[in-house]
Amino acid sequence: MADFDADVIVIGSGAVGSNAAYELAKQGLSVILMEAGPRLPRWKILQNFRASPRKGNHNDPYPNLPYASNSFTDGYLENTGSFDLRPGMLRLLGGTTWHWAAATWRFTPEDMKLNSLYGVGRDWPIGYDELEPFYGLAEVELGVAGSDTQDQSGQGRDLAYPPRSTPYPAPPEADTYYFARLRDRIGAEGYNFVHEPNARPTVTYDGRPACTGNNNCMPVCPIGAMYSGNMTAQKAEDEGVQIITEATAYNLEKGEGGKIVAVHYKTPDAESHRLTAKYFMVAANGFETPKLLMISDVANSSDQVGRNLMDHSGMGLQFLADEALWPGRGPVQQGGIFNWREGEFRREHSAIKHALSNNVPNKMIAERLLAQGIVGTELDEKIRDMSARFVDVSTVFEMLPHPENRLQPHATRKDALGIPTLSINYDIDDYVKAAVPVVKEDYANFVRIMGGEVIEDDTGFQNRDHIMGTVIMGDDPATSVVNGECRTWDHDNLFLATTGVIPASGLINPTLTAVALAIRSAQIIAKEI
């Protein structure tokens, strides 16, 4: 009889957890990969999407089960702060990357030294050079298409930045007409447009077809060109990983010497089970990971678990240009304006990214016109005209970690399995608010340059679904949850694989970075077992 059920148990099968499990299996270890939700085929999700009358709710085609609640399940998230933080969250094999935009930026070296350079926020405990090789491995697994020549700092320099030791696995897609026209006109006045690297290969890649621009990456890529975590989960299973779905972890059992010795989970019928391993990795996203730690009473000697919650809370602008731009063709995002990514201004206000959303706008425009009482031939003509000229700017702000921005297991509410739901307290700080006038000035410039007519100047803060900081990484056990290896300070066989470890948010989508960190952690574990 084996001493353990596996060498390593990974809890959470999203892109981060699946990559950790796959890497561990490739290193010759026995691995169990646990997932709270079910396993569904792509055709079923696509069928759900087509049948749904709620096309604007990206969670809608996915399971919303009593034993695996998500962020839009009634009563699951309680917000007590001034901002209703409610990011998209999926619980099924493959996790939330089933419906992401697939943006796969790297942090810059400057992002990782925010406090040293600008006197605000926190530094990472590791430098960019230590993470760079693992960024390359993550890009290969996700099949990232990107430019090997652009300065992604947004400063318009004639160099590739941040530094790379390997090329992107796939070349960037051709410019859409929409992106090219905005770049030609707005870029002529000093705004630096940067192509967005994304996990949508432009060539057939690793069994996936090349992206054909279906433009419904959110809520689901119909052909499986866009990367989602279930793809790596399948590869992990083929490599020997045992996958257990519909298994909701609710307790990490402590043993002698501060080690974690077992994970307890419940099946949908609320029956409890126990699994043992030499090492554990919790990869249950930026909300569920800290919740599991807190309800297990582990890894929290610093009292930082669940604190320092960051999103890239943003703003938005929608206007009609004076020419037809034909948005909605190609990927949902192709790039953005990065002038406010690097600079001394970061001492005073947050960094800013303006992304140019490329979604088909017809539905939103039609609903708006119908609400105005416009019908018949006039409705048809206006939909055609406005949809062709529609411009959607989605702005994100760099956030700072604050201990009072936090999530906690709810004091009284429990889900169908008797596990606490989540309570969140989240406020937007003055560092972000100081950047709002800069954004408004940029918005005015965009509208002027494009001869625009504003449709929606939605300057209220919005969710951006990039959860960070909740199990923060640092170099001091008194002020952080994990060290630079993503190993918990309190338990040397417990690692965390999640965007929640990121200590300085920058302004880029964090998934690629979490995957890179997870692969690095997996290799560290493999050397120790």
The type of residue at 161 is Y
In a 10 Å sphere around its CB, with 0-12 CB exposed, 13-18 middle and 19+ buried, how is residue 5 labelled? middle
For residues 431 and 507, the answer to whether their CB atoms sit within 8 Å is no
173 is written with which tokens? Answer: 């897609």
Q: Among 114, 161, 127, 134, which Cα is nearest to 338's?
A: 161
Strand partners, 494: 280
Could you list the pLDDT tens digit for every one of the 529 residues in the chain? 458 999 999 999 999 999 999 999 999 999 999 999 999 999 999 999 999 888 878 888 998 899 998 888 889 999 999 999 988 889 999 999 999 989 999 999 999 999 999 999 999 999 999 999 999 999 999 999 999 999 999 999 999 999 999 999 999 999 999 999 999 999 999 999 999 999 999 999 999 999 999 888 989 999 999 999 999 999 999 999 999 999 999 999 999 999 999 999 999 999 999 999 999 999 999 999 999 999 999 999 999 999 999 998 899 999 999 999 999 988 888 999 999 999 999 999 999 999 999 999 999 899 999 999 999 999 999 999 999 999 999 999 999 999 999 999 999 999 999 999 999 999 999 999 999 999 999 999 999 999 999 987 766 888 888 999 999 999 999 999 999 999 999 999 999 999 999 999 999 999 999 999 999 999 999 999 9
pTM for this one? 0.96
Q: How far apart are CA 24 and CA 239, in angstroms?
A: 10
- Which pLDDT does position 1 carry in this prediction? 41
Alpha helical stretches, state H, 405-488: 430-433, 436-449
Torsion angle of alpha carbons 186, 440, 81, 419, nearest 10°? -10
3-class SS of residue 5: coil
Return the residue matching tokens 């390997």. Answer: 166
Rounded to whole angstroms, what are the CA distances from 302 to 287, 401, 434, 499, 518? 18, 15, 31, 19, 22
Give the up-direction half-sphere exposure of residue 97: CA atoms within 13 A in the CB hemisphere: 37
Per-residue pLDDT at 57: 82
Would you give the DSSP letter of residue 187?
A: G
With tokens 């169908």, the residue in question is 416
Query: Which one, of 323, 143, 336, lies nearest residue 221 by Cα?
Result: 143
Contact (Cβ atoms closer than 8 angstroms) between residue 291 and residue 297 = no
Residue 379 one-letter amino acid = L
Nearest to 228 by CA among 46, 67, 53, 10: 46
Peptide bond into 477 cis (omega under 30): no
Fold exhibited by the domain 153-158+171-196+314-398+429-461: Cholesterol Oxidase; domain 2 (3.30.410)
d(CA 525, CA 242): 18
Nearest-angstrom CA–CA distance, 474 and 496? 13
Query: If we measure between CA atoms, which residue out of 86, 79, 89 comes closest to residue 58?
Result: 89
Catalytic positions are: 466
Nearest Cα residue to 306 out of 480, 529, 520: 480
How far is it, in rounded angstroms, from Cα 521 to Cα 427? 32
94 contacts 14 by C-beta, under 8 angstroms:
yes
Under 8 Å CB-to-CB from 331, ≥6 apart: which residues?
102, 173, 198, 200, 211, 213, 215, 217, 358
Check residue 149 and give its pLDDT.
94
Type of residue numbered 16: V
Enclosing H/E stretch for 7: strand 6-11
Looking at residue 486, its amino acid is C
Half-sphere exposure of residue 150: CA atoms within 13 angstroms, side-chain side: 21
Cis ω for the linkage preceding 169 (within 30 of 0): no
Output the six-digit token pair for 79.
Answer: 């917000």
Complete DSSP assignment for 316-376: EEEEE-SS----SSS-SEEEEEEEESSSGGGGTS--EEEEEE----HHHHHHHHHHTT--H
Q: Which of 493, 420, 528, 486 is nearest to 9 (CA)?
A: 493
Where do the domains of the chain lie? 153-158+171-196+314-398+429-461
pLDDT at 459: 66
Length of the chain: 529
Location of structure tokens 């950047």: 435
Query: How far is residue 183 from each of residues 103, 176, 330, 429, measured CA to CA in Å?
Result: 19, 11, 16, 32
Find residue 408's DSSP bridge partners. Answer: 423
- The token pair at 527 is 């050397």
Give the integer Cα–Cα distance in Å for 133 and 99: 27
Going 491 to 497 to 501 to 502, the CA torsion angle's sign is positive
pLDDT at residue 462 in the model: 86
Within its chain, how far is the Cα of 448 from the centroid?
A: 33
Alpha-carbon gap, residue 330 to 315, rounded angstroms = 23
CA proximity to 389, closest of 457, 331, 454, 314: 454
* Helices and strands counted in the chain (H then E): 12, 16
